[in-house]
Structure 1
Amino acid sequence: MRPVPLPPGPGQESVWDYPRPAIVQPSTRRVEVVFGGEILADTRAAWRALETSHPPTYYLPPQDVRMDRLVPLPGVGSVCEWKGPAVYFDIVAPQPAGPPRIARRAAWAYPRPTPAFAAIAGYIALYPGLMDACRVDGEPVRPQEGGFYGGWITPDVVGPFKGGPGTQGW
C-alpha cells in the first residue's frame, strides 16, 4: 500500500514527486563529508540521484574526495536496476593514536553505469549514517533508514521515505 505523501512546504520537495525510473541531475549545492576527524569530501559539483520515495543520493566527483582514504573491495558489490553494477569501498582514516578508523562498505561507485547514468561514472556515493557528518549547504544530513539505501535527508526534502521497516513494497 502506497503511503500518504507529506505536503511540501515552501522551499521543499517531496520524494513522491521524484520520477521512476530514477534520474540524476547536477547540483551546485555545497556537499561536505567528515570522517575520522577530517574532511573526506567537499564539492559543489555533485550529482543527485532521484527516485520515487527515496531521499536523494549524492554522487561526488572523485577529484573532490580524499580517494587515498578509500580502499576498493574486490568484485561487484551490487547491481542497480537503473545504474548497473556497483563497486564498493571501505573508508580508512588514520588516527593520531591507535589503529585507523574504518567504515566498512561505506562508499560505492558505478565505474560503467548504464547510458542514462553516464554522468556519474566513477563518482563516489557514501552512506551518511557511517560518516561523522554530512552536510548540504551547511544543513546536517539525516541518513535514510535501513542498511541498503544511501539517501541523504535534509530539511528541504519530505517523505515518507522508503528504507525503514514495512517500506520494502513501496
Structure 2
Amino acid sequence: MERATESVWDYPRPPRAERISRRIAARHAGAVVFDSTDAVRVLETSHPPVYYIPPADIQGALSPSRRRTICEFKGVAGYWDLAVGGITVPDVAWSYERPSPGFEILAGYLAFYPGLLDECTVDGERVTPQPGDFYGGWLTSDITGPIKGGPGTLGW
C-alpha cells in the first residue's frame, strides 16, 4: 500500500508527538538494535519525523553518556551510548526522562540518530538520515522538503 506524501512544512511548531503503528527497526554491526511497532513520532516544521522507541523493544545494551541538550519544547535530553556487536557507538540515542508538559508521551522512550547506525528502516524502507549532525530525523520516500539540517539551513 502506497503511503500519502507528507511535507515537513505541514508539520506543526511547536512539534507534535503521536503514537504510530509503523514498523521502526535498526541494525548495527550485524545485530538488531530495535524492532518496534509501538513507537512515537515527533513532527516539527522543516524536519523529517523523529521516532522514539520504547525501552522494551531495544535489544542493544545502552549506558548513559555525559552529553545533555535542551529542547525549548521537550525539555532536557540525556544521551546514550550503545554496545552492540562488540563495538560501542557513543551518543547514538537521546531521551527525555522528565519531558516538558505536553510531551509526557516521550518519557523514557529513546530516539536514535539514523546516521550512526548501519541500517534504519520504516516499514522495511531504508531511511536516509536528516542532513547535518545535530538533528535526528528519519527521511523516507513519503516525506518531502526542503529539509532543515544541511549547510545554510540553520537560520530557518
TM-score range, shorter chain: over 0.9
Give 1:118 shift: 0.1
Q: Residues 98-136 of structure 1, C-alpha deviation per residue, up to 9 Å, x if partnerless?
A: xx3121111110000011110010101000000010000
Give 1:69 shift: 1.3
Alignment of 1:134 with 2:120, yes or no, is yes
Larger radius of gyration: 1
Alignment of 1:93 with 2:88, yes or no, is no
The equivalent of 1:77 in structure 2 is 68
Aligned-pair Cα RMSD in Å = 1.4
Rounded to whole Å, the distance in 2 between the matches of 1:61 and 1:89 is: 14
Q: Which of structure 1's runs of 4+ aligned residues deviate more than 6 A?
A: none
Counterpart of 1:55 (choices 44, 48, 55) is: 48
Give 1:35 shift: 1.3
Percent identical residues:
51
The equivalent of 2:18 in structure 1 is 25
Rounded to whole Å, the distance in 1 between the matches of 2:27 and 2:73 is: 28
Q: Residues 5-43 of structure 1, C-alpha deviation per residue, up to 9 Å, x if partnerless?
A: xxxxx7100000000011101110000111121111001
Rounded to whole Å, the distance in 2 between the matches of 1:136 and 1:83 is: 23
Q: TM-score, normalised by structure 1?
A: 0.88
- The gaps in structure 1 that reach 5 residues or longer are 1-9, 95-99
Q: TM-score, normalised by structure 2?
A: 0.95
Rounded to whole Å, the distance in 1 between the matches of 2:118 and 2:23 is: 17
The equivalent of 2:155 in structure 1 is 169
Task: Give the structure with the higher percent strand.
Answer: 2
User: What letter matches 2:63 in structure 1?
Assistant: V
- The gaps in structure 2 that reach 5 residues or longer are none
State how many pairs are aligned. 155
